[in-house]
Chains A and B, each alone.
Chain A
Amino acid sequence: MSANNKSNQEPLFSAKNTKLLKKPFNLENPITVQVLGICSALAVTVQMKPAIVMALSVTIVTGFSNLLISFLRDTIPARIRIIVQLVVVAALVIIVDQILKAYLYDVSKKLSVFVGLIITNCILMGRLEAFAMGNKPWPSFLDGIGNGIGYGAILVIVAFFRELLGSGKIYGYDVIPKVVFETGYVNNGLMILPPMALITIGVIIWLQRSRNRELVDKS
């Protein structure tokens, strides 16, 4: 994490900056590699719609909290920096929650406490401490957006399989034809319960590590 950009002429989407966006998708994925933010990944992945809204909410909060903290980084007193970070994150989360309640009421009901719990999502504080406190606003913003999307991508993948196998739907639409049910196929009720989210994430981690040997622990 040494992305201290010295030159001001650097293009907005330089190789270094795009890397910040892309890294969280694979080698530094918050869920599958850093194992952060697991709790909400288990809770909101029963259906795709809430998962997508949750992914967007987290992405907005990580992006803007990184941006704000990076702007403030030289003024924040070291002794209360965690408190300052928390206040910024909490304020953003409350704003997102209020907006969801006003404009996406049905989804906000499904997400219930988990929007509020974005405050305690480890990805946020992790990125603020590890990146935003030591980098310029724009790279910090990209890092936040990248991590939010990296988290969201896993959420949506898990939700896709849980909704498909658990309820026979994708994004609320029935996709498994009646004929299949008539031949004796049944929806797997276990997919709806939290343990299957954990197992699905486990399978994703397994697939990812079998493709990227560098992620496998040496010991």
Chain B
Amino acid sequence: MHSNRYIIVYSTIMVVLVAVSLTFVAVQLKPRQEDNIRIEKMQNILASANIATTVTNAIETYNKFITQTLVVNNKGEEIKGSDAFGLDMALEIKKPVDQQQLPVFIATLEDGKKYSIFPLRGKGLWGPIWGYLSLTEDFNTIYGVTFDHKGETPGLGAEINTDIFEKPWGGKQLFDLDGIFTSITVTKGGARPGDIHAVDAISGGTITSKGLEKMVKDCMLSYEVYIKNKGRI
């Protein structure tokens, strides 16, 4: 039987050794892990403008196509001195609406057209969902979207990040003919053919679909003034 003193000394040494080795590993790997997160974000931003990338060419492609980034508030005014790429939407959406800093990424594609990319963030069934949405130069028609999620049900809610769900978003419109913000409805049972304000929901993924619909509506509503100002010029 070991004495109490032995046990205390033993556990102290063990814990210190483990703490030191874990700290060492964490510090060593941190730059690489942060790069992975940055690269994934770049890939997502580009994917919403229908630009395919790989992990290796993501940074290069991002620098090539993303020609401008800016941060605006919900009144559509530009906030100077804020880094659009570094903003975390998970934190921004928790702030009161008038204090949110909202990033906008502008992609200039090879045909010379400019597409504006807006980040989205909301709640699915099990956890956060997020994505990016790009608008064409009319600031009304959706050019492309990309969605992702933390832990939606595989085969059901998790299908939001598949092409089958994302592709039909292209060509839909955020504003109706009178210029009123209508957003996009994610319709259970399928959108009516030709409906420019609706897409098909995912069978069995109703709560994720509804959460996604709310995310697009809430997030794009914050940009409404900015978009309207731009669209009218």
Interface residue ranges, A against B (CB under 8 Å)? 46, 75-80, 83-84, 87-88, 91, 94-95, 98-99, 101-103, 105, 112, 166, 189, 192-193
Contact = CB atoms under 8 A, between A and B. Distances in A.
In the A-B complex, list the 6 residue pairs whose CB atoms are closest, starting with the nearest: A192-B155, A77-B2, A105-B36, A102-B32, A102-B29, A91-B18
Given A84-B11, A102-B36, A189-B204, 15 more contacts: A75-B10, A76-B10, A78-B1, A87-B15, A87-B18, A91-B18, A94-B22, A95-B21, A95-B22, A98-B29, A98-B33, A112-B150, A166-B155, A193-B154, A193-B155
Contacts of A84: 10-11, 14
B125 to A, nearest CB: 14
Contacts of A87: 14-15, 18
Interface in B20-62: 21-22, 25-26, 29, 32-33, 36-37, 40
A78 B2 contact: yes
A88 B155 CA distance: 36
Contacts of B22: 91, 94-95
B151 interface: yes
Contact of A46 (B21, B33, B151, B154): B154
Interface residues of B, number: 25
Most chain B CB neighbours (cut-off 10 Å) among A75, A76, A79, A102:
A102
A80 to B, nearest CB: 6
Contacts of A102: 29, 32-33, 36
Given A91-B18, A95-B22, A79 B11 contact: no
B25 A95 contact: yes
A101 B2 contact: no
A80 B155 contact: no
A101 B155 contact: no
20 contacts: A46-B154, A75-B10, A76-B10, A77-B6, A79-B7, A80-B11, A84-B11, A87-B18, A91-B18, A94-B22, A94-B25, A98-B25, A99-B25, A99-B29, A101-B33, A103-B32, A105-B33, A105-B37, A105-B40, A193-B155
A78 B1 CA distance: 7
B154 to A, nearest CB: 5
